[in-house]
């Protein structure tokens, strides 16, 4: 018997507007886009922020089939959730077929999402017109409370509290349930109840965590977003197993998101802060939710010092090469071979020796366990750690 496994990939996790500030590299600057591959091979895309472009450039047609069908759920029409559409290259390939799901906006009327496509690519906003998009596109309207089946999977939509409306989606697959609740603010009894229904018993509950609890009570009240504390509260009330903090504020640096994550982990056992490139598997043996973090991304870190050779071009156009010390560099995480089996999601202290200007220095890092695999060495486990400071 094969175990059903679903794979959830995060292509964009930033709210409101993309960021390219180096202080936001580690969690990533693309706006919302997720991909869920269900055990039956059905491919879902959740939202079409700028992360969609990255997904398109690494496109693998679902099932490798001749007509590749993909189901795209769009939560609402704010820029950060639709801005990747014109840059999604698979839309320009004839054999592809896309089924779009979204609600009828009272501001747009019938075929709201279709109108969004046309408006985004209208002159003088975009150089290429709609006729270049040769993939088949089908549009389906969904309303809060609607349920539908796609393959073996059940999708339920619920209204959330957000200016001009936003849908949350719950996707139940044979490997587990994902609740996607971006862009929502607590404080409306009926819509708060909808959020709990979406998250009820979910294996993964992805929630808006744009603001701090203090901001949410004061300067950002009424802006349509939530906090890590509200997410933890709802996750507990709804019996969700893992909370994913999502839609990070464009002004939140990696270190600020680290701090948010640390606080959230004191309130709820299993929390991740969504980061671009993160892949979560559901239904893997042992029935645990496991996350795999992007390993190549580097981030700023004060303690490390590495001897480096730097090559470049000067302002005057001359090539140069020089030796220097790089003082701000580190990896986001590490894979560590351990005899002991640490608890998933538990905290680890990692002390490393790093070469410095004054000899070898000790580098202390705090992180948490996101993944445990059988190690290459007998009796060892390969433990994936993400550093939080």
Which residues are at the interface with Zn ion (CB under 5 A)? 15, 78, 80, 183
DSSP labels, 334-363 = EEEEESS-PPTT-EEEEEEEEEETTEEEEE
Q: Are 85 and 115 in contact (CB under 8 A)?
A: no
Identity of the residue, 175 or 198, whose beta carbon is nearer to Zn ion in the bound complex = 198
Nearer to Zn ion, 69 or 80 (CB): 80
Please measure the distance between the N-terminal and C-terminal CA atoms of the chain and give it in whole angstroms: 42
Task: Pick the closer one to Zn ion by CB: 7 or 53.
Answer: 53
Q: Provide the minimum distance between the beta carbon of 210 and Zn ion in the complex, in angstroms, as a whole number.
A: 8
CB of 279 to Zn ion, least distance (A): 22
Beta bridge partners of 45: 35, 72
Q: Closest separation between CB of residue 250 and Zn ion, Å?
A: 10
What residues are paired with 371 via a beta bridge?
A: 384
Which contacts of 117-126 are long-range, i.e. CB under 8 A and separated by 24 or more positions? 117/85, 120/82, 120/83, 120/85, 120/86, 121/86, 126/86
Could you tell me the smallest distance in angstroms from the CB atom of residue 340 to Zn ion? 41
Please state the closest distance from residue 170 (CB atom) to Zn ion, in A.
19
Nearer to Zn ion, 50 or 153 (CB): 50
Q: Are 293 and 275 in contact (CB under 8 A)?
A: yes
Q: How many other CB atoms sit within 10 Å of the CB of residue 373?
A: 12
Q: Which pair of tokens denotes residue 319?
A: 């090539």
Q: Which is nearer to Zn ion, 210 or 381 (CB)?
A: 210
Indicate the residue whose CB is closest to Zn ion: 78
Closest CA relative to residue 283, chosen from 6, 1, 2: 6
For Zn ion, give the closer residue by CB, 6 or 142.
142
Say how many C-beta atoms besides its own lie within 10 A of residue 61's C-beta: 16
Q: In the complex with Zn ion, which residue's Cβ is closer, 183 or 185? A: 183
Min dist. Cβ of residue 223 to Zn ion (A): 9
- Residues 6 or more apart in contact with residue 47 via CB below 8 angstroms: 12, 32, 33, 34, 73, 74, 75, 81, 182
Minimum distance from residue 249 beta carbon to Zn ion (Å): 10
Cα-based distances in Å from 228 to 37, 195, 244, 321, 377: 27, 15, 9, 46, 38
């Amino acid at each position: 018997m094969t175990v059903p496994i679903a794979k959830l990939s995060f292509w964009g996790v930033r709210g409101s507007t993309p960021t390219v500030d180096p202080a936001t590299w580690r969690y990533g600057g693309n706006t919302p886009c997720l991909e869920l591959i269900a055990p039956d091979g059905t491919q879902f895309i959740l939202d079409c922020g700028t992360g969609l472009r990255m997904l398109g450039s690494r496109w693998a047609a679902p099932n490798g089939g001749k007509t590749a069908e993909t189901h795209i759920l769009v939560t609402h029409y704010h820029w950060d959730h639709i801005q990747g559409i014109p840059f999604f290259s698979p839309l320009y390939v004839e054999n592809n077929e896309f089924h779009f799901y979204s609600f009828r906006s009272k501001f747009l009327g019938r075929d709201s999402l279709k109108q969004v496509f046309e408006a985004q690519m209208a002159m003088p906003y975009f150089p290429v017109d709609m006729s270049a998009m040769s993939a088949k596109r089908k549009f389906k309207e969904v309303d809060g409370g609607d349920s539908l089946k796609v393959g073996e999977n059940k999708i339920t939509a619920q209204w959330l509290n957000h200016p001009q409306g936003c849908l949350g989606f719950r996707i139940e697959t044979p490997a587990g349930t994902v609740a996607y609740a971006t862009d929502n603010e607590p404080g409306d009894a009926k819509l708060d109840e909808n959020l709990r229904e979406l998250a009820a018993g979910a294996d993964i509950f992805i929630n808006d965590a744009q603001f701090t609890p203090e901001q949410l009570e004061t300067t950002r009240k009424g802006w349509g977003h939530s906090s890590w504390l509200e997410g933890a509260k709802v996750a507990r009330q709804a019996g969700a197993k893992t909370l994913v903090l999502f839609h990070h504020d464009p002004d939140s640096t990696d270190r600020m998101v680290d701090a948010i994550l640390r606080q959230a982990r004191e309130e709820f056992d299993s929390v991740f802060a969504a980061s671009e490139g993160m892949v979560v598997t559901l239904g893997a043996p042992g029935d645990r939710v496991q996350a795999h973090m992007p390993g190549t991304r580097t981030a700023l870190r004060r303690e490390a010092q590495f001897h480096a050779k730097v090559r470049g071009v000067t302002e005057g156009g001359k090539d140069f090469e020089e030796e220097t010390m790089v003082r701000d560099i580190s990896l986001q995480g590490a894979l560590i071979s351990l005899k002991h089996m640490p608890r998933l999601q538990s905290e680890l202290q990692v002390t490393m020796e790093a070469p410095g200007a004054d000899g070898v220095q000790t580098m202390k890092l705090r992180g948490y366990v996101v993944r445990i695999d059988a190690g290459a060495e007998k009796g060892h486990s390969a433990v994936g750690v993400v550093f939080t400071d």
